[in-house]
């Protein structure tokens, strides 16, 4: 989370990071920040993958300070941060004209890898002497949020792909931005888009803040923050998926059709049934995130990450290395948090998708009889999940 009790002896210049999936929202937020505070300077990046270059625009209250096209050996986000953002931010901090820097990410960029790179760069002798990471901000439109998050639009179809082969779903990017941000700023009609508003609160991390309306976005408020990199990592990690419910300080809005379903069990998945029913459990109009374990690889900590009709599963390491927010070792378990919305015209006879998900989840879990032999039944059988989870050791 972002703390608002800064160390008054810390004289470094605050650096905030702004992420969104909407170019209009990004430009509106940038305009509001620089016009509302003469001491703010914004570094805006746009990656032009097809041209192998980055467009760097630096603006403050006086207008455009710089507008340059920078060739990149690899036109990707990590190269843009390493090769241009870090040296440019260092240069702007050393200039002395501004008391707050904002990095406006390329539209469609996720803030976690950028914050991670900036935190690594703010070490003694690098950016640390000049800058501190203050607040990571996500800006989202509640009027389009339900569609953006749950439907299957791709970033390439929206014109916000970061590379030529970027096949991410818009919902994947939006979810990642909301879940990692210290502060979520929304726009749109909250009354007419109660479901979009509800989805924001179901996704944003515990202990984070929300502001409604770009008029509420205040540079001084951002500057007072101190981004907790470790907390941000925990929020974005599959183990940190937010549980059922909404923040205690948020009231239910009439017309809000959003929901959260938390699927949890100490039992692992049966690999072959998981493969058969993975579409039932992992696709559709859902944001799903969590961890699971599989009976034929009991030591493997596996990640589950789905949005925009797409699902990604993979191995994160072993359960021996997994810890919770308190630093305690986590025992193997299966926990997937699903966020979605009911259809607005669902009739009384329509089966709730949550019932279907729960039935699929129960079917995929191993039974006590299957676990009784300690996993011997899976020895010598093909590992059907190996294409996604990697090669398995038969040392059960």
In tens, the pLDDT along 285-313 reads 999 999 999 999 889 999 999 999 999 99
- Condensed to tens digits (0 to 9), the pLDDT of residues 256-292 reads 999 999 999 999 999 999 999 999 999 899 999 999 9
The least confident of 10-14, 101-105, 185-189 is: 10-14
Q: What is the DSSP-derived secondary structure letter of residue 216? A: G
Residue 380 has pLDDT above 70, yes or no: yes
* 133-147, 221-235, 249-263 — most confident range: 133-147
Residue 251 has pLDDT above 60, yes or no: yes
152 to 155, 158, 171, 340, 374: CA distances (angstroms) = 10, 11, 7, 13, 40
The Cα angle at residue 322 between residues 316 and 325, in degrees rounded to 5: 120
Q: Which CATH number does the domain 258-389 belong to among 3.40.1010.10, 1.20.120.530, 3.30.1220.10, 3.40.50.12780? A: 3.30.1220.10
| Whole-prediction pTM | 0.92
- Condensed to tens digits (0 to 9), the pLDDT of residues 42-60 reads 999 999 888 888 999 999 9
For 10-236, give the CATH class. alpha beta
Q: Where in the chain is the domain with CATH 3.30.1220.10?
A: 258-389
Q: What whole-number percentage of the chain has pLDDT above 70?
A: 91
pLDDT of residue 197: 96
pLDDT of residue 346: 66
Q: Where in the chain is the domain with CATH 3.40.50.300?
A: 10-236
Token pair for 326: 């308190």
- Condensed to tens digits (0 to 9), the pLDDT of residues 329-339 reads 889 999 999 99
């Amino acid at each position: 989370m972002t703390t608002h009790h800064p160390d008054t002896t810390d004289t470094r210049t605050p650096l905030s990071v702004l992420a969104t999936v909407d170019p209009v929202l990004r430009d509106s937020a940038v305009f509001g920040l620089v016009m509302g505070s003469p001491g703010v300077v914004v570094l805006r990046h746009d990656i032009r993958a097809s041209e192998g270059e980055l467009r760097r625009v630096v603006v403050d209250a006086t207008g455009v300070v710089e507008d340059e096209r920078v060739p990149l050996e690899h036109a990707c986000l990590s190269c843009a941060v390493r090769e241009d953002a870090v040296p440019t931010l260092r240069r702007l901090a050393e200039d002395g004209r501004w008391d707050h820097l904002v990095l406006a990410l390329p539209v469609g960029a996720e803030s976690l890898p950028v914050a991670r790179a900036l935190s690594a760069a703010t070490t003694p002798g690098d950016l640390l002497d000049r800058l501190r990471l203050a607040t990571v901000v996500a800006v989202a439109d509640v009027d389009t949020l339900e569609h953006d998050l749950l439907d299957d639009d791709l970033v390439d179809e929206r014109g916000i792909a970061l590379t030529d082969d970027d096949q991410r779903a818009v919902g994947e990017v939006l979810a990642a931005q909301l879940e990692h941000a210290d502060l979520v700023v929304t726009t749109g009609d909250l009354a007419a888009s109660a479901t979009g508003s509800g989805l924001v609160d179901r996704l944003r991390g515990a202990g984070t803040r929300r502001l409604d309306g770009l008029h509420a976005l205040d540079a001084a408020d951002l500057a007072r923050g101190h981004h907790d990199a470790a907390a941000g990592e925990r929020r974005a990690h599959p183990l940190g998926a937010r549980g059922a419910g909404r923040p205690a300080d948020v009231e239910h809005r009439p017309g809000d059709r959003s929901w959260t379903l938390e699927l949890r069990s100490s039992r692992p998945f049966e690999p072959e049934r998981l493969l058969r029913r993975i579409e039932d459990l992992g696709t559709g109009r859902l944001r799903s995130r969590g961890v699971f374990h599989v009976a034929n690889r009991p030591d493997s900590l596996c990640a589950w990450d789905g949005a925009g009709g797409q699902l990604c599963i993979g191995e994160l390491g072993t359960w021996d290395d997994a810890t919770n927010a308190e630093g305690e070792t986590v025992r193997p378990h299966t926990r997937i948090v699903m966020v979605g919305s009911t259809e607005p015209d669902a009739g009384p006879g329509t089966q709730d998708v949550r019932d279907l998900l729960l039935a699929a989840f129960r079917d995929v879990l191993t039974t006590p009889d299957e676990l009784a032999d300690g996993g011997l039944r899976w020895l010598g059988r093909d590992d059907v999940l190996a294409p996604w989870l990697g090669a398995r050791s038969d040392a059960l």
